[in-house]
Each structure stands twice: as structure tokens, then as C-alpha cells.
Structure 1
Amino acid sequence: MSAKKQVVVRLDGKGKRENTNKSGHIHVNKKNVSEEIAATEESSHNQIHTFARNYDTSTISSSTAKKQTTFHMFKPIIIAIISALTIGSIMGFVLLKIIVNFDNNLNGTPAVAMPIEGEEKGKDDNQGNASKVDTSHYMLDSMSAFVLQGGVFSSIANAEAESGKFVEQGYAPVIWEKDNQFYLLVTMRRSKEDLQSDINSLKEKGIEVYAKDWQTSEKEVALTKEEYDWVVSFQEQWNLSLESGSLDEETWNALIEQAPKGSTELNSFVTQMEELLTSKENTEIVLLNLWNSLDSVVSTGQ
């Protein structure tokens, strides 16, 4: 048993074999051991130790899954909001562009001069008639007389059909439209008593008629000062002719000559005056037709 056994000493993970003597003591080379220990300590100081941390993988997985689930839940809403904001911005820009262009078009449109009282516009090159730019509102007096009424109808055709029997008796009835009805007026006088002979004559022939106080009310009309003055003169001459029961041809012709030339409506009325005054109708029928025509003109021009 004198053989020496080898003893392995490990320093810092490195094996080192040492010899043992017969007595079992380990013979260690102190110098070598000291150097190795010093080297080991120096190595351990220079080495950066890595610390491992244990994580609960189940907790991490659960938290990640929850975040993903929440994101997927709100993802459509977020996308919808972003889309709505984008579309709204685009539409707002387009509408703003349209409004700006519309305003520019309006501002670029030449202004139309409004009629101002006292100003006059030049004559029209084609028609030679001046436009009415200085019209004002005036009140026309009412007119009245007694008429012989032959009926009231809802259509002009029925009124014309009924007028035939009065034409056969030598009358020239006037169909007057008023309040959407058609009145058949056979003749006219200044008083109810003046109509009595006509009433009796027609009744003897089986034709029913009756006297009626016919009136046109006071009206506000838009006319030039010249037109208004002329219409007033016409009303005065009309009343004088009704009172006298005759037509003063010279006075009426002078009134026609004084008629304003710039009004289309009055020009048409003056033309009718000329035709009626040269007709063979009696005074009352001429005056009744003139009255009806004037009422139509002033009603249209209101």
C-alpha cells in the first residue's frame, strides 16, 4: 500500500491533480495553489454575472390576449370614425368650393338697375316705346252707373249663347268678367228710371231682365304721372257723356290725341276707343264698352 494516490483538486472549475503520501496526507504545492486562487478571484471580479429572472408565462399570455381582444373589439369603431372624419373633411371642402364659386358668380353678374321715380329710360329701338321706369302708385276714383242685367254665368260660352236673344232685339250686350263670373249687361243708363222702358219692352217679349247699380271700386294702380292724369281726364269725360247721354266727338278725339305713347296697355285701350267712337253703336253701349276696357287695363296693371 505504499503506492501514492493522486488527488484531484478543482479550483474555479479546473481540475488539478495532487499527490498523496503513504500516510494519506495531501501534498499541496502552496505556491501553485495561491497563484491559482488569486487568478480565480481576479477572474471572478472581471466577469459580469448574469442574473436570470423567472417570469410567469401564463400571466403574460393572458395580458397579451386581453389587449388583442380589446383592440379587435374597438378596431371597427376606430376605422369608422377615421373614415367619417376623412369623408366629412372632403365633403366640407367640396361644399365650400361650390359656395365660393356660387358667390363669385353672383358677384360677377351685372347689376340690374331698378326703376327710380323721376328717371326716364330711352325709347326702345325696335318698338319706339319708352319703358315705364318712373311709375308711382295712384288711386283711381270709383265709377258707377245703372245697367240692365240679362244674367250671370259661370262660363263665357254660356253668356255668349244667352246674348243672342238680346242681339235679335237690337241690343249689343257686353260680357263683363268679374269675380270669376261672366255678367251679361244689355245696356246702361244714368239712373234706374231711365232703364224702365227697356225692361218693360223686353218683358213683353218674354225676356227677363232687371236693373242693377253697377260699380267699380276705387283702385290703386301703378302708372306714370302722365298716364294717371290722362286716365283721370278720361273718367271725367266719361261721366259727362253719361250725364248728357251723348258723345262729343271733338272732345273725345282730343282726348285720344293726348294719350301717352309709352304704355302698351294704354295704347291698346286707346285703339279700342278709336274703334268704338267711330262705330254706329249708341252712346250707352260705347260708354259701357269703354268702362269695361278701362277696368281690364287698370286691373292688369296693378
Structure 2
Amino acid sequence: MTDVDITSPDDFSSSKKPQRLNIHHLDAKLAAGFHSDCENLLQKFKKCQNYSYTSFAQVWRESCFLGIFKGLNNILTMKTFVENAFFNAKKFLYSPDLYIQTGALYVLYGLYYKQPINKWVKVRLTQADVDQLKEIIDTHKENRCFEPVFIYYKMRLDGAFQYCALPLPLGLEPKFLKRVDFAKNEIASRSSCDSVLNKFKTLMEEDPDLVQFDETDEEYQKLSQKYKDQLFIFPSQLGAHLKKAYSETFHVQLEESPQTQAKHITLLKAKATEAANATYRGDRKVVTAIDLQTPSTSFNS
């Protein structure tokens, strides 16, 4: 069976033909929606600035995250959705931010113990996933933050993990082939435009690395001028382009650097000089018909 009926029983009383949605398209849409919800959840948890599971649980409840299971009445669809949810949640384990990594572990923990099916789906872990989890847990051990450590070992003891070679199962049946294509194309990793803009805004306003990037870029420009005859060096304007995009997107007036201010002053002076030497319309002599002394074209009667 490759199609799922998404119509309600009341629709059969009408003359309209029941609409059907391809199950693989449905899986992709559900997975994309989950990825966006999961990303928003982890961003809220990151703002708590701690690794406490209590803080994560509060954000989980405020977001009504268990609502992701509503509307999935078919057991096969539910099982596939849970598998894809684990697959997408694991991606956040590879984030460079430890808060996001810890939140991803908590998401796996919450989804595993709250999945509304009798035979629970296990979390597939490849060797890379195991190594990444071990690195996260070792970091928390060094920081003496034991809540993530406890949750990880509880899942291990309860048999929540299925150790395997590939992130998703392979098979010759069409359902397996479709899911492999789905995994390779990273359909679920697509975010909305608002999400991308929020990331960019956070980068420009909160990321401390951007300040260091500006300092490095400025130092690079100075050195490039010093050694420009010996080396082939391209002019770097990445910082300026980022600030311009941020200013135009969010309508924010950024403080200009001394070099930029000096450049603008030079341009203004040049324009002022051009204006002083220009001939204005008010000073121009207007040529009239009298000046042209055109002979009369009228005929005598």
C-alpha cells in the first residue's frame, strides 16, 4: 500500500472523490515539520543557559511538544514518523553548541519514552553517533553536570539504542528505497525563511566570534597592503557585506568604522566641490524666439 487516505468520514457523504496523499510525500512533510519544531524547541532551551533537564522539561511542556503525535492514527505511519524523528533529532547532536547537543539528547529521551505505540521504536546509532554521544557525555562528566550523563546511561540500560552500520535501514522494497533517497536529499533539514533570518540575526547580534572576525579581517587588510607586491591577495569585504545585508534586512543603522566614515566624507567633499563648480538652472540664460530672430512667416493679404 503506497497511499494514505487523509479524508474524514464526513467527506464520503459528499460527491467529491476522496483525496489521497502519497505516503512518501506525507513522511517527508511530517519530517520537515518535526525538524522545524525541534529546532525551535532547542533554541528556546538554549536561552535557558543551563543543562538542567528540569529546564528542558518546562520548555517541552510550554511548547506542547507532544502534539507532534496528534493526527497519526495509522500504526505504520506513526512508526515511520518516530523513526524519522529520531533520525532528525540526532542531527542536532553534531551542533557545535553544547546546549543544542544536550537538548538533542533530551529530545531523544523524551520521544523514546513518550512514543504512543506498544512496541517502542529504538534509536538507531551508527559508530559516528556513538562517538559523538561519548564526547558529549565526557564533556559533561568533566564539568560535573550529571543529568545528561544519567539520562544517557538510563537509555542504554533500557535498551533504547540499536547499534547499526547505517542511519536508516536498507531494502529492495520501494518503501526502503524511497526512505534512502529521503535521507540522502536531506529533505527534512529544510527550514523556513523566518528560521534562516532568525539565525542570521542571532549571528549578527549575539555571536562573539563575529567581533573577532572583524578584527582578523581588519588585520588581514593591513598586512595585505604591506605584502601586496609579493603575494596575490584578494580584497576581503566579507564583514562589510554581512553588515550591509543585516542593515538592509532588519532596517538597522549600524555604526560605521573610521575607515568607512572617512571614505564617506571624501565622497561628500567631492560631490560638494562638483556642486560648487556646477552651473545651476537659475543662472542659465534661456533662449527665446526673440533671440533667434526668426523671420516672419505670415503672408500679406
Common fold: TM-score over 0.5: no
From the two aligned structures, give the one with the greater helix fraction: 2
The TM-score normalised by the length of structure 1 is 0.21
Q: Which has the larger radius of gyration?
A: 1
The TM-score normalised by the length of structure 2 is 0.21
